[in-house]
Amino acid sequence: MLLQVLLLVGGFVLLIKGADWLITGASALGKKFNISDLAIGLTIVAFGTSAPELVVNAIASFNDKPDLVFGNVIGSNNINLFVILGITGLITPLAVKSSTAWKEIPISFGAIMVLFVLANDFAFDHSSLLSRIDGLLLMGLFVSFLFYVYKEIKSDVIHADLHLQHLSNLKIALFILIGIGGLVGGGKMVMTGAVEIARMLGVSEKIIGLTIVALGTSLPELMTSVVAALKKNVDIAVGNIIGSNVFNIFLILSVSSLIRPISFQASFNTDLYVLAGGTLFLFLAMFAGGRKQLDRWEAAILLLAYLAYTYLLIRQEVG
């Protein structure tokens, strides 16, 4: 058991550091080619914080672990929404721009609905799985989302404080390559440790994916949003979470299902309902008082709701 725990912890450390190195190298590369701070911050930060989920899910899909694939994505999105926004909202009220309230939050809700329809066989095929055709559709929606980002987000939304130095081409390449290596190695370690712990404790891979693995791969989002909130950069704190949730469904599940069609358990629908309900709550909170702001008491509700959800999840598993 000790070895498996060490693998899990070591894997999380590699995932976090790998994402950090990849962001640093890719951002420096963007600056070298005079790409705007908006494009660098939004695309690199959003992808970088979702990279751990991508690596873990690619490995899980390759190893035919569908419960970990869906558990990690749905679990990570719930943690992003309830825990990370809850924590950052307690640090400072999260006032957002009109486009976030009217467009980006509804897009994240739409992504949940698309996943629900595809996974429950309401389109394209007649089996309980996310097929490669579904994966292609999700990839197309991901590309459309990137197009929206470039067209709609104003240049003053992202003020990423990445503490970049002027790096040589060799250092940039090393950051990127070592970052990718850390992500791949960390993803493999997390997968190995999580599956073995689940087997030894008799806990289902679904629960492991929804909780331990999801929490570990959400740590980059947590660190990014908390730092942004402490610096009063609310747009990054909120945009990072909304963007990551869209990335997780459109990009990560797309890649996972293209590697191998992923069978879907109907029990995951409950977790999707929780995610959809939380997203709807966030949307309504933006208009309470007409300020487009998540207040501290609303953030506290998100955190308490997640604690209740986790308690019921574990109780259902052990009961």
Longest dimension (CA), the chain: 57
Q: What is the pLDDT of residues 102-135, one digit of tens each?
A: 888 999 999 999 999 999 876 544 557 899 999 9
What is the Cα–Cα distance from 314 to 319, expressed in whole angstroms? Answer: 8
Pairing state between β 262-263 and 94-95:
unpaired
Residue 289: enclosing H or E segment and its boundaries?
A: none
Is residue 97 predicted with pLDDT exceeding 80? no
**Alpha-carbon separation of residue 48 from 23, 74, 180, 221, 319 (angstroms):** 6, 18, 10, 9, 38
Instruction: Examine the pLDDT at 204 and tell me if it is beyond 50.
Output: yes
Contacts of 295 (CB under 8 A, 6+ apart): 89, 93, 285, 288, 289
Examine the pLDDT at 319 and tell me if it is beyond 70: no
**Cα gap 187→34, rounded to integer Å:** 32
Q: Are 84 and 225 in contact (CB under 8 A)?
A: yes
Does domain 2-318 sit in CATH 1.10.3720.10? no
Q: Is the pTM of this model over 0.75?
A: yes
Distance of CA 93 to the CA centre of its chain: 22
Q: pLDDT tens across 156-187, in order?
A: 444 444 455 567 888 888 888 888 788 778 87
Are 76 and 274 in contact, with CB atoms under 8 Å apart? no
Alpha-carbon distances, residue 193 vs 11, 47, 65, 234 (angstroms): 8, 25, 14, 35
pLDDT for position 157: 45
85: its two tokens: 């926004």
Judge whether residue 99 has pLDDT over 80.
no
- Please give the full DSSP string across 231-244, using - where no structure is assigned: TT-HHHHHHHHHHH
Select from 59, 106, 302 the least CA-distant residue to 114. Answer: 106
Report whether 235 contacts 158 (CB < 8 A).
yes
d(CA 266, CA 270) in angstroms, rounded, equals: 8
The answer to whether the CB of 205 falls within 8 A of the CB of 72 is no
d(C-alpha 288, C-alpha 80), whole Å: 21
Amino acid identity, position 105: I
Taking CA atoms, 132 is separated from 4, 170, 185, in Å, by 33, 38, 26
Share of the chain above pLDDT 90, in %: 32
